[in-house]
Amino acid sequence: MKHFVPSKHGAERLPPSLPEVFLRADAPKRMNQDREDGQNAFLILTDEARIGLITDLIMHLEDMKPLNTAATGSAFRLAWELEPYLGGKRLGTYFSAAEIISAGRFESGVSEIVGRLANEMMTADERRRLSETKAPLIVYRGGVGDPASISQGMSWTTDISCADFYARKWLVRWGAAGEPRILSSQIEPEVVAAMFDGRDESEILIPNGLPVERVVEVPTLSDVKPRSSGSC
């Protein structure tokens, strides 16, 4: 019989039934194996079960319980880059789907949670590239509507064509209304939580985004290469 346990989330809930790999103690010598096991634990699940796994991992982190960082980081990376389908509908990333399904049970925003595991979400090559980046970066973010709202997003890119795609095409597919905008800013490498090379998006993660006072609006492009997914 399962027992309900008190949670700081304001209601009782079942304790997460996490796969063993996520509960292992961190061990540097086993890090690569833990990363692979974390990926496999995520990939073998259905879309619905993956959302449940990400929800449980987030709640585990919010309750300040230890997790294997290599396994959790690798599962989070997949959850960040892949898209769930439920009932024939696409739900953004697994993080946004978990937020929707959790119905406000998360005390932390996705930006804060991802920011905490950003280093573990990167590959070794991505971590090395970030550590070797010394010069300021020009970053872009595409969206529709209010610049202050767009600038708060954590996913930016060094590729203006990627930002243009999300400003003019991607969000429209989701029914978003408003004027397409591309915001840009020059940032120091210390602001960057992670650099992702996956999906050919030159993605830069900036937890909590940038103050609107630090960004400028630049023109959208008239021609953009096709892209199929992403979270810029």
* Residue 179 pLDDT level (bands cut at 50, 70, 90): confident
**Beta-sheet pairing, 137-144 with 180-187:** antiparallel
The candidate with the shortest Cα–Cα distance to 160, out of 77, 213, 232, is 232
- Domain limits, the chain: 20-121, 126-218
Q: Which helix (H) or strand (E) holds 195?
A: strand 194-196
pTM beyond 0.75, yes or no: yes
pLDDT band at 58; cut points 50, 70, 90: very high
Split at pLDDT 50, 70, 90, the class of 175 is: low
Angstrom distance (rounded) from CA 87 to CA 182: 32
Does the pLDDT of residue 86 top 60, yes or no? yes
Which of 83-92, 173-182, 185-194 has the largest mean confidence? 185-194
What per-residue confidence (pLDDT) applies to 172?
63
